[in-house]
Amino acid sequence: MSTDPDTILLEAEDAMSKALEFLQQELRGVRTGRASTALVEFLTVDYYGSPTGLKALAAISVPEPSQLLIKPFDAGALPAIKTAIETSGLGLNPMVEAKQIRLNVPALTTERRKQLVAHCKKMGESQKVVIRNVRRDANKHADSLSSQTGVHFSEDDIKSLKDEIQELVKTYEGKMDHAVTAKCDEVMEV
């Protein structure tokens, strides 16, 4: 990290923002009762020895509320896409039809919905830990400002910086709570 308060704050906010983006990305892949392209579009497919996102290999559509249709741009990618879906842990059974894959998204049981909600909350909590680690590191850098030679920062400046860091933590934890709550509500929706 850097040696001035503004940079410490900017770098801390950037790291917290990345943690929030990561959480939002992870939550998109959590299954709900409805078919959604987000469920599979971020799967990684071993395409001729190169890991490639499914979104780059195929057109994904939702022809019915409980069904996904995957049409690969290259028919040769069909077996690799099928394998990626089977090994993804999503619990979906890909059916190959001609040059496309059809996925039926079965309705979730109440028990499975509760498991998914718990999983979402766990993902949120793990990203909050990341944010708290960013706070810890930023506070360490703030403390090191007082022992810096050349430029002097008062104790009030350092306290003010730590307060701003804490405000960032509250803001990003709030955004994470909101994202997790919204996803949990979506999962529990019948």
Q: Could you read off the pLDDT of 19-73 as tens digits, one per residue?
A: 999 999 888 877 776 778 888 878 889 988 889 888 899 999 988 888 899 999 9
Q: Tell me the pLDDT band of 190, cut-offs 50, 70 and 90.
A: low
Three-state secondary-structure class, residue 108:
coil
Instruction: Mark whether 23 and 116 lie in a shared domain.
Output: yes
The residue segments making up the domain with residue 118 are: 5-28+109-188
Q: What amino acid is encoded at 54 in this protein?
A: L
* 95 strand-pairing partners: 102
More confident residue, 157 or 135: 135
Q: End of a domain among 85, 104, 123?
A: 104
Q: Tell me the pLDDT band of 17, cut-offs 50, 70 and 90.
A: very high
Instruction: Mark whether 184 and 116 lie in a shared domain.
Output: yes
pTM: 0.72
Q: Is the pLDDT of residue 3 over 50?
A: yes
Whats the size of the chain, residue-wise?
190
Domain holding 87: CATH number? 3.30.1360.40
More confident residue, 77 or 189: 77
Q: Could you read off the pLDDT of 108-153 as tens digits, one per residue?
A: 788 888 988 999 999 999 999 999 999 999 999 988 887 776 677 8
- The count of structural domains within the chain is 2
Q: Say how far apart CA 167 and CA 169 lie, in whole Å.
A: 5
Instruction: Mark whether 24 and 114 lie in a shared domain.
Output: yes
Strand order in the sheet with 67-72: 58-64, 67-72, 100-104, 94-97
Q: For the beta carbon of residue 168, count every other beta carbon within 10 angstroms.
A: 20
Instruction: Mark whether 43 and 100 lie in a shared domain.
Output: yes
Domain holding 167: CATH number? 1.10.132.20
Q: End of a domain among 104, 137, 156?
A: 104
Give 126's Cβ-side CA count (13 Å radius).
Answer: 11
Q: End of a domain among 104, 130, 145?
A: 104
